[in-house]
Amino acid sequence: MLILAVDTSGKDGSIALVQFNGENAHTVDVAPLEGGTFSAQLVPQISVMLAKHNLSKNDVDAFAIVSGPGSFTGLRVGLAVIKALAEILQKPIAAVSTLEALVRSPGINFPCSNRVIAGLDAGRGEIYSGTFDRSGNQAVAIDQKLVTVDEFKANAAGQQVVTSDTKLFERLSEAKLKVALVPRPSADAIARLGFEKIKAGEIVTPETLDASYIRRTDAEVKLGN
**In the chain, how many domains are there?**
2
pTM to 2 decimals?
0.91
At residue 220 the predicted structure's pLDDT band, cuts being 50, 70 and 90, is very low
Q: Read off the pLDDT of residues 74-129 as tens digits, 9 standing for 90 and up.
A: 999 999 999 999 999 999 999 999 999 999 987 666 655 588 999 999 999 999 99
Interatomic CA distance for residues 206 and 210, integer angstroms: 9
64 and 23 in a common domain:
yes
192 and 143 share a domain?
no
| Residue-range definition of the domain harbouring residue 159 | 107-181
Same domain, 24 and 72: yes
CA distance 11 to 132: 24
For 149, counting Cβ atoms within 10 Å of its Cβ (0-12 exposed, 13-18 middle, 19+ buried), the class is middle
